[in-house]
């Protein structure tokens, strides 16, 4: 409740600006896609993989790139707000992006607006971006409390999908998927009715005596209770000549598999996924294609949006940047991981422990060092090794020359002794 109180208090001054608002051009989320099981499966697959991204604050300078570990970095990488871990935070943003093509998160600051204290994702039921005196604002209705808020757009993390028709907003998928989802629902309802009707009537009883409706209903109930329950273990019924039982043979319902597959594939194509991704039965190539076409664009958009909204112009000019990365090799085969990680290791790009991580091996003590392929020495000692080897080679050459001279002198002395003895 503390978070809600903070939000209400923080927005109280901004809500007075509602005089500038009009009700036109607002987008109302229908919510129909959130109830669709196929879109739900797609949203889960995309959101699960987006949630695995790792946010990092980096700074690029002439001296190289450094990864920062300040308060903002810890906020992003661990818990953006009191309610959500980083995984939950990114999962929610990605889910909203799939369902509505727009995802929002509001940034909260301390009293003097010098430090970000939390970032809260908000699922909205209606929203509109408008401009007043060259300042953009977001008006939205929060699904949680059904209240309307107005927030400066600079304080909002906003992800957009299919940004091709509207000025500020992504194109909602409701209309574009309407034909497929509606026809798929009609097909499902038809299948449901067929199955229900097929199980509604198993047979009928024909009575050879005259009876009114109430008497017939009573006799049917007696027959059911006597012979069509679990207690009738023998499965036999005894009938006299006043009753005939006629079984109705039901044909198995015909399911229009081709129709269902067609509509499902339309939805899959819209979001860039397939059955293999949804069922976790993908190959390395399937995953790489899915990552490059679906996950990577979202990661790129996250990086740009967070960098622009969380840093000032001065901070950005000094090379500060927020990136969202992932270990793509986690879905590669053992052979691929070994080949790539081995090359990186040989060139001194990664450490021993990073190499072991690629191979899903535990870290070792003193393993945070880089090696290069000079008989695998520490990267920062390779120059000394080269100098030492050259020195040793020169000393060895000198020693060999000395030994040769000694040998020649020895031979000469022995030959001279032989001449004297003759």
pTM value?
0.70
Between CA 40 and CA 271 the distance in angstroms is 12
What pLDDT does 252 receive?
A: 63
For tokens 């067929």, the residue is 194
Q: Which secondary structure element, helix H or strand E, spans residue 297, and what is its range?
A: helix 296-310
Cβ(105)–Cβ(122) below 8 Å: yes
**DSSP secondary structure string for all residues of 352-397:** HHHHHHHTT----TT---EEETTTTEEGGGHHHHHHHHHHHHHHHH
Cβ(267)–Cβ(177) below 8 Å: yes
Between CA 119 and CA 108 the distance in angstroms is 6
**DSSP secondary structure string for all residues of 158-219:** EEESS-SSSSSSPPPHHHHTHHHHHHHHHHHHHHHHHHHHHTT--EEEEESS---HHHHHHH
Q: Is 280 helix (H, G, I), strand (E, B) or coil?
A: coil
pLDDT tens digits for the chain (422 residues)? 444 445 555 454 444 433 333 334 566 666 678 888 899 999 999 999 999 999 999 998 777 788 888 999 999 999 999 999 999 999 999 999 999 999 999 999 998 888 999 999 999 998 999 989 989 999 999 988 899 999 999 999 999 999 888 888 888 898 888 888 888 877 777 767 666 665 555 665 566 666 666 776 777 777 666 656 656 555 556 555 566 666 656 666 666 778 888 888 999 999 999 999 999 898 888 988 999 999 999 999 999 999 999 999 999 999 999 999 886 666 666 777 777 777 888 878 888 888 887 777 888 888 888 877 655 566 666 666 666 555 555 555 556 566 656 665 655 565 555 555 54
- Cα angle 145, 150, 151 (rounded to 5 degrees) comes to 110
Residue 159 burial by Cβ neighbours in a 10 Å radius (0-12, 13-18, 19+) = buried
Cβ(393)–Cβ(387) below 8 Å: no
Q: Which secondary structure element, helix H or strand E, spans residue 287, and what is its range?
A: helix 284-290
What pLDDT does 414 receive?
A: 56
CB under 8 Å to 77, separation ≥6 — which residues? 54, 55, 56, 86
Q: From edge to edge, which strands make up the β-sheet containing 27-28?
A: 27-28, 124-132, 135-142, 148-152
What residues are paired with 103 via a beta bridge? 159
What pLDDT does 75 receive?
A: 95
Which residue, 301, 300, 272, 302, is CA-closest to 287? 272
> For 112-164, what is each residue's pLDDT tens digit?
888 999 999 999 998 999 989 989 999 999 988 899 999 999 999 999 999 88
Mean of the per-residue pLDDT values for the chain?
78
What pLDDT does 23 receive?
A: 35
What pLDDT does 39 receive?
A: 93
């Amino acid at each position: 409740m503390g978070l809600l109180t903070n939000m209400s208090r923080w927005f109280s001054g901004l809500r007075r600006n509602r005089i500038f608002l009009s009700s036109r051009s607002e987008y109302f989320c229908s919510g129909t896609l959130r109830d669709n099981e196929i879109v739900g499966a797609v949203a889960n697959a995309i959101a699960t993989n987006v949630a695995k991204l790792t946010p990092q604050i980096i700074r690029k300078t002439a001296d190289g790139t450094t990864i920062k570990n300040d308060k903002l970095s810890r906020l992003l990488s661990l818990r953006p707000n009191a309610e959500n871990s980083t995984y939950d935070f990114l999962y929610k943003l990605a889910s909203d992006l799939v369902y509505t093509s727009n995802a929002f998160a509001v940034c909260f600051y301390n009293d003097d607006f010098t430090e970000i204290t939390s970032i809260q994702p908000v699922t909205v039921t209606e929203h509109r971006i408008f401009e007043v005196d060259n300042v953009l604002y977001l008006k939205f209705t929060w699904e949680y409390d059904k209240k309307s808020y107005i927030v400066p757009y600079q304080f909002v993390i906003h992800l957009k999908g299919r940004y091709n028709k509207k000025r500020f907003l992504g194109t909602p998928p409701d209309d574009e998927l309407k034909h497929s989802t509606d026809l798929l629902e009609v097909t499902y309802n038809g299948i449901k009715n067929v199955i229900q009707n097929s199980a509604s009537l198993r047979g009928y009883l024909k009575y050879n005596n005259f009876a009114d409706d109430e008497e017939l209903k009573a006799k049917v109930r007696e027959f059911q209770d006597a012979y069509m329950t679990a207690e009738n273990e023998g499965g036999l019924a005894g009938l006299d000549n006043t009753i005939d039982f006629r079984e109705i043979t039901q044909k198995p319902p015909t399911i229009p598999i081709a129709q269902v597959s067609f509509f499902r594939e339309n939805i899959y194509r819209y979001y860039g996924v397939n059955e293999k991704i949804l069922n976790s039965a993908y190959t390395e190539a399937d995953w790489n294609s899915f990552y490059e076409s679906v996950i990577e664009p979202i990661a790129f958009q996250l990086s740009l949006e967070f960098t622009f909204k969380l840093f000032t112009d001065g901070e950005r000019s000094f090379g500060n940047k927020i990136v969202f990365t992932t270990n793509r090799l986690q879905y590669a085969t053992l052979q691929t991981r070994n080949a790539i990680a081995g090359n990186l290791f040989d060139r001194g790009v990664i450490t021993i422990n990073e190499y072991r991580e690629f191979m899903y091996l535990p870290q070792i003590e003193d393993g945070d060092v880089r090696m290069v392929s000079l008989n695998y020495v520490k990267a920062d000692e390779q120059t000394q090794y080269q100098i030492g080897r050259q020195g040793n080679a020169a000393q060895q050459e000198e020693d060999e020359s000395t030994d040769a001279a000694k040998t020649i002198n020895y031979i000469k002395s022995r030959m001279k002794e032989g001449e004297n003895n003759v």
